[in-house]
């Protein structure tokens, strides 16, 4: 298993001053650029009253998102929350799916580890998973009688290959931005801070009565502490839910691809479909949860 190149954190491609540009920053920037380009194009497009084709597609997506916001928050608040909810949904969705594009993770570049990433030659390498697979096949062709022996040998060979790989320092050029904990943590912080912002905007300083309530007896004081803790737990749970799902999906695909025989490459396909579905669901979950939390923060405790 160690031969599979799995890295929990994103790897640095090169450095601009003190800023390390990782492969997930690269992917995230490309996705952001595409999203912004789409928005600019759609904004400058000559729109028809009766939408058809591309305009129809975009409008129906936005309408679905708007109706979702309206169902939870009501008409007036929906206008306020909609931009943030729709943006986070589309950004997360495209980032999740960008990790599923073939070539993501398999296009690698060579990196000289001694020079700390200052000189990284952009040499596209062959698919790493296939290489290790070929080695397993070779070992099986060797003359060993028992199956367990062969497997042990194969594992040994794989470990050797992985060490060699690490020595050379191959790193993937692209990595889904949401498969990096930094991105998901940033998204979680944005969501939670906006929750506080809208809470204060709707309820004034009375919003903080939820956390610091010393007048209504000891029980409410304790409940306030719990609320305060749960606000921080929200950041962690937002960040790890998204990161875990996307990253685990990538690991799952790599492991299944390495386990399935070379001559039968259709095996990872159902898992690929699952990951497309999970990417959508997680984007929806993030948007929905943000929406529900924000909406809850804007409702006064006395009202319900």
Of residues 155, 288, 299, 300, which one binds other proteins by CB under 8 A?
288
What are the beta bridge partners of residue 36?
none
Considering beta carbons, is residue 23 or 245 the nearer one to other proteins?
245
Query: Collapsing DSSP states into helix, strand and coil, what is residue 197?
Result: helix
Shortest separation between residue 241's beta carbon and other proteins, angstroms = 4
Q: Are 24 and 272 in contact (CB under 8 A)?
A: no
Helices (H), the chain: 23-44, 54-73, 75-98, 128-141, 147-168, 181-203, 218-259, 269-298
Q: Are 66 and 256 in contact (CB under 8 A)?
A: no
**Strand-strand pairing, 108-110 and 19-22:** unpaired
Residue 222: other Cβ atoms inside 10 A: 11
Residue 159 contacts other proteins per CB under 8 A: no
Residue 290 contacts other proteins per CB under 8 A: no
Q: Are 88 and 187 in contact (CB under 8 A)?
A: yes
Shortest separation between residue 292's beta carbon and other proteins, angstroms = 10
Residue 241 contacts other proteins per CB under 8 A: yes
Residue 281 contacts other proteins per CB under 8 A: yes
Residue 248 contacts other proteins per CB under 8 A: yes
Of residues 240, 271, 272, 300, which one binds other proteins by CB under 8 A?
240
Shortest separation between residue 258's beta carbon and other proteins, angstroms = 14
Residue 7 contacts other proteins per CB under 8 A: yes
Residue 244 contacts other proteins per CB under 8 A: yes
Of the ranges 11-19, 33-41, 206-214, 234-242, which one interacts with other proteins (CB under 8 A)? Answer: 234-242
Shortest separation between residue 72's beta carbon and other proteins, angstroms = 12
Residue 245 contacts other proteins per CB under 8 A: yes
CA distances from 213 to 198, 205, 220, 224, 227 (A): 20, 12, 6, 6, 11
Q: Are 220 and 213 in contact (CB under 8 A)?
A: yes
Q: Are 89 and 65 in contact (CB under 8 A)?
A: yes
Of the ranges 97-105, 155-163, 213-221, 277-285, which one interacts with other proteins (CB under 8 A)? Answer: 277-285
Residue 250: other Cβ atoms inside 10 A: 19
Shortest separation between residue 67's beta carbon and other proteins, angstroms = 13
Residue 208 contacts other proteins per CB under 8 A: no
Catalog residues that contact other proteins under the rule CB under 8 A. Answer: 1, 6-8, 237, 240-241, 243-245, 247-248, 251, 281-282, 284-285, 288
């Amino acid at each position: 298993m160690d031969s599979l190149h799995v890295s929990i954190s994103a790897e640095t491609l090169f450095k601009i001053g003190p800023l390390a540009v990782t492969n997930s920053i690269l992917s995230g920037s490309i996705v952001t650029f595409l999203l912004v380009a789409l928005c600019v194009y759609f904004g400058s497009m000559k729109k028809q009253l009766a939408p058809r084709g591309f305009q129809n597609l975009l409008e129906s997506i936005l309408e679905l998102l708007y109706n979702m916001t309206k169902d939870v928050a009501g008409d007036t608040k929906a206008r306020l929350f909609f931009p943030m909810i729709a943006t986070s949904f589309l950004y997360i969705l495209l980032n999740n799916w960008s990790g599923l594009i073939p070539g993501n993770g398999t296009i690698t570049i060579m990196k000289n580890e001694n020079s700390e990433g200052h000189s990284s030659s952009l040499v596209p390498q062959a698919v790493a998973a296939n290489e290790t697979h070929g080695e397993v096949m070779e070992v099986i062709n060797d003359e060993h009688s028992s199956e367990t022996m062969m497997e042990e040998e194969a594992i040994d060979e794989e470990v050797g290959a992985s060490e060699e790989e690490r020595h050379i320092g191959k790193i993937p050029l692209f990595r889904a931005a949401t498969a990096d904990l930094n991105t998901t943590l940033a998204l979680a912080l944005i969501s939670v801070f906006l929750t506080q912002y809208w809470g204060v905007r709707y309820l004034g300083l009375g919003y903080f009565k939820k956390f610091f309530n010393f007048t209504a007896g000891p029980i409410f004081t304790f409940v306030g502490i719990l609320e305060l803790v749960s606000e921080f737990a929200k950041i962690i749970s937002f960040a790890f839910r998204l990161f875990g799902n996307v990253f685990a999906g990538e690991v799952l695909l790599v492991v299944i691809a390495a386990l399935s025989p070379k001559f039968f490459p259709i095996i990872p396909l159902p898992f690929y479909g699952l990951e497309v579905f999970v990417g959508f669901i997680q984007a929806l979950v993030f948007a929905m949860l943000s929406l529900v939390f924000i909406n809850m923060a804007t409702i006064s405790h006395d009202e319900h």
